[in-house]
A and B are shown apart, each in its own frame.
Chain A
Amino acid sequence: MSSTTHRMRRIAGVLIAGALIAGVSACAAGDGGSAAPESIGPEGVDDGSTLTLWTRAPLEKQANLLVDAYNETHENQVELTVVPNDDYVAKVGAAAGSNGLPDLFAADIVYVPNWVEQGLFQDITTNIDGFDFKDEINPGHLSAGTLDDKEYVLPFVLDLSMMFWNKELFAEAGLDPEVGPANLEEFAEAAKAIQALNKPDTYGTATGLNCGGCLVFTWFPSVWADGEEVLSDDGTESLLASDTAKDIYSTWKDLWDSGAVLPSSQDEAGPTWTAGFTEGKVGLMFYPATLLSSTPFDAGVAGIPGPEGGASTFVGGDGIGISKDSEKAAQAWNFLNWMMSEDAQVGVLAKNKDVVSRADLSNNEYSDQDPRLVTINEVAANGDTPVAINFQQAFNAPNSPWLTLVRNAVLGDGASVDADNDEITAVLSQ
């Protein structure tokens, strides 16, 4: 304890928040004691405090629903700030540097390992272990937020990539609207069939060829569906030059060359990559499941197939944790505790046709009404979340080597996949 008081004395003069972190980290460094978690308690505190929460724009709808439902039923009030996707890392970085992080903040799950390592979140192991449904929480998100056996992050909103198809366009093209393509080849054939309708402004498929995040989200599952991996276990080596991966690139190159891909996909950097499908102008595409409730027409849903068939998904979305700067950890935990409850998972997320983050709740009153939700939940169990410290630089950044690889392979001659893949590995292993 003397080290605790020493550390606390050093910091307490600056900020109460600082003292709280010192307490947490001192306990974590010790025998795994529970001074901070005791003060938090399993339910947290609901005393009418105002909490701040940041999230990024793609999950605005879900975040708003959750926050509104919480504010209605609790004394604590959460103030939500939604930040444009591209500016989120910069904003969090600036706040972290000046100790100005909000009480709670969500992070794209692929950034979570890095941010946990940088110490942006408080250790909430004791509280998470206190859940009697802990084993039912989505394991991909939990493991992304775990460092040295300590847990920092819970799943906020799960976003899965699924294959969506427009049933009306399928029927027009003479395809079976009730059964989706079974493998990537059938996917390409379906896209070409819809393109062959020659309807104005209507295209076979679409993607974001200048959007590293979109491509990660929608193309990695094709690799997994074939039983292959995209990264080595430690996340420092890229395996994206495998035969399966090359098959996927050449299928897309063939689709692009045949003109069955929405032309603006070439420069699509992310903001409007799903717009074509949502407007009914695209036959089928790999698409985020969070948009199920925003898709106005009858769409079929299945997992993303690989070249040989199978089905997989990218378990994306955001994890959420209590920031290192929060002085209201107990109140913030109250929100997280409620967020994992059946009230929030079923009463808010499932009601909005979103995927629940607890497996024991995946069959619920809303999924009974919409069998597509059952499909999504089933595929989620086969899904994956890649973990790498340098993920952003290697894949999501606008000048990432992954984008170079895909653009060379699909828009170029496709001869440089191996060299481009080495460049990804070079960035990952920095």
Chain B
Amino acid sequence: MTALAPPIEKEAPPAKRRRRRAPQGGALSGWLYATPTALFVLLLFVLPLILVLQMSGSDWPLLGGNQGWNFPENYQDAVTNRFFTDSVVFTLKYTVLTTVILLALALGLGLLVQESSRWKGLLRTSFLIPSALGLASASLLFYVLYSPIAGPFADLMATWGFTFLGTPDGALWSTIFLIVWRYAGFYMLLMLVGLQGIPDDVYEAARIDGASRGQIFRSITIPLLRPTLALTTVLCVTGSLLAFEQFYILTKGGPDNSTITIVQLIYSVAFQGPNDLGVAGALSVIVLLALVVINIAQIRAFGKKAED
């Protein structure tokens, strides 16, 4: 503010009142500039958040509306729900598997298409194309591919006597395959940006020093790629913990309730059965807190390593 004030004073010396107001005017225009963003944050983030917090503490049936406070019973009901533990365990398992597979594959693809070769353009495009498909559309596509009635592998499944989505492990790996197919290109792109940000002369120096390919990868590529790895890990972990569409469309939590993710549990508590927005809100708040903690832990972990 002080940096702004003197020029205004110079330009308008006669108006004493204006001079006194000048800093306020600057503050006002500052607020005006910030207003659109502030409004968006307020309307689309703060208000819904407050509503969810209120819901999580209220007796709030889907069809009946707010019936008054019900705290902390909602939270007790949420953690004693008969699928709560299973869904947390399954979500974590799914997250670990997806993150490891997806990031390893994305890094591999990134290294593959980084070098200039004749097929670079074709490879990059073909890896990236699935990312242009919405997740729900992709899930529907795979629902048909996996279908034992309508799918192209129907005969094969009949001969082998198995179905993709028929067993708990089959359903999990079929879904992971879909997610890897859908997201590998996207994470490859992020890895590629990171890889190309590593200066060539570092590699050159290493090669002159006689480092092998493995040594270069371990001692140069990975450390210098750390910011990108941090970003992709955070993105992938958060996305996987909030997995919903793929399971909602492909498995509906089945077979035998083996693939219920935590977000799916929230949905089913709210809309498929108990129809209790209060308990669903409580579950959402628990998930939100868990996400905040996990993300802080991840960022700290990557930050510390970078300092070492």
- Which residues of chain A have a CB within 8 Å of any CB of chain B? 86, 89-90, 92-93, 96-97, 114-115, 118-120, 210, 263-264, 266-267, 269, 272, 275-276, 392-393, 396-400, 404, 407
Contacts and interface: CB of A to CB of B under 8 A. Distances in A.
A272 B275 contact: no
A92 B274 CA distance: 15
A111 to B, nearest CB: 10
A396 B260 CA distance: 16
Nearest to A262: B149
Contact of B63 (A118, A269, A397): A118
A392 B268 CA distance: 11
Nearest to A393: B273
B274 to A, nearest CB: 5
Nearest to B276: A393
A266 B166 contact: yes
Contacts of B257: 399, 404
A263 B148 contact: yes
A393 B83 CA distance: 13
B63 A267 contact: no
Contacts of B23: none
Interface string B54-85: 00000001111100000000000000000100
Contacts of A118: 61, 63-64
Query: Quick one: which of A93, A115, A272, A398 has the most chain B CB within 10 A?
Result: A398
B166 A275 contact: no
Contacts of B130: none
B63 A115 contact: yes
Interface of B: 61-65, 83, 147-150, 158, 161, 163, 165-166, 252-257, 260, 268, 270-275
B271 A90 contact: yes
A267 B250 CA distance: 11
A400 B254 CA distance: 11
Question: Chain A interface mostly helix, strand, loop or mixed?
Answer: helix
A402 to B, nearest CB: 11
A399 B253 CA distance: 7
Given A267-B148, A393-B273, A96 B63 contact: yes
28 contacts: A89-B271, A90-B271, A93-B275, A114-B63, A118-B61, A210-B252, A210-B254, A210-B255, A263-B158, A264-B147, A264-B149, A266-B166, A267-B166, A267-B254, A267-B255, A269-B252, A272-B149, A393-B273, A397-B268, A397-B273, A398-B254, A398-B272, A399-B260, A399-B273, A400-B273, A404-B256, A404-B257, A407-B256
Contacts of A407: 255-256
Contacts of B260: 399
B273 A92 contact: no
B83 A399 contact: yes
Given A93-B62, A93-B275, A275 B149 contact: yes
A149 B256 CA distance: 40
Contact of A89 (B150, B253, B254, B272): B272
B252 A119 contact: no
Contacts of A269: 252, 254
Contact of B268 (A97, A275, A399): A399
Given A92-B63, A272-B150, A275-B149, 16 more contacts: A89-B272, A96-B62, A96-B65, A97-B63, A118-B61, A118-B63, A119-B64, A210-B254, A264-B148, A393-B275, A397-B273, A398-B268, A404-B256, A404-B257, A407-B255, A407-B256
A393 B274 CA distance: 6
A264 B153 CA distance: 13
Query: Quick one: which of B63, B147, B252, B270 has the most chain A CB within 10 A?
Result: B63
B256 A392 contact: no
B282 to A, nearest CB: 17
A267 B252 CA distance: 10
A410 B83 CA distance: 22
A115 B148 CA distance: 36
B89 to A, nearest CB: 15
A264 B163 contact: yes
A93 B270 CA distance: 9
Contacts of B163: 263-264, 266-267
A392 B272 contact: yes
Contacts of B147: 264
B271 A93 contact: yes
A120 B61 CA distance: 13
Nearest to A118: B63
A41 to B, nearest CB: 29
Contacts of B161: 263
A86 B252 CA distance: 10
Query: Quick one: which of B64, B254, B270, B272 has the most chain A CB within 10 A?
Result: B272
Contacts of B268: 397-399
B90 to A, nearest CB: 12
A102 to B, nearest CB: 15
A392 B252 CA distance: 16
A93 B252 contact: no
Contacts of A267: 148, 163, 165-166, 254-255
Contacts of A400: 273
Nearest to B87: A399
Nearest to A397: B273
B255 A97 contact: no
B63 A120 contact: yes
A400 B275 CA distance: 13
A107 B166 CA distance: 31
A280 B148 CA distance: 17
Query: Quick one: which of A118, A119, A272 has the most chain B CB within 10 A?
Result: A118
B126 to A, nearest CB: 32
Contacts of B165: 267
Nearest to B146: A267
A22 B130 CA distance: 54
Contacts of A266: 163, 166, 255
Contacts of A93: 62-63, 271, 275
Nearest to B148: A264
B275 A89 contact: yes
A248 B109 CA distance: 54
Contacts of B256: 404, 407
Given A93-B271, A263-B148, A267-B166, A398 B253 contact: yes
Contacts of B254: 210, 267, 269, 398
Nearest to A279: B149
A386 B273 CA distance: 17
Contacts of B148: 263-264, 267
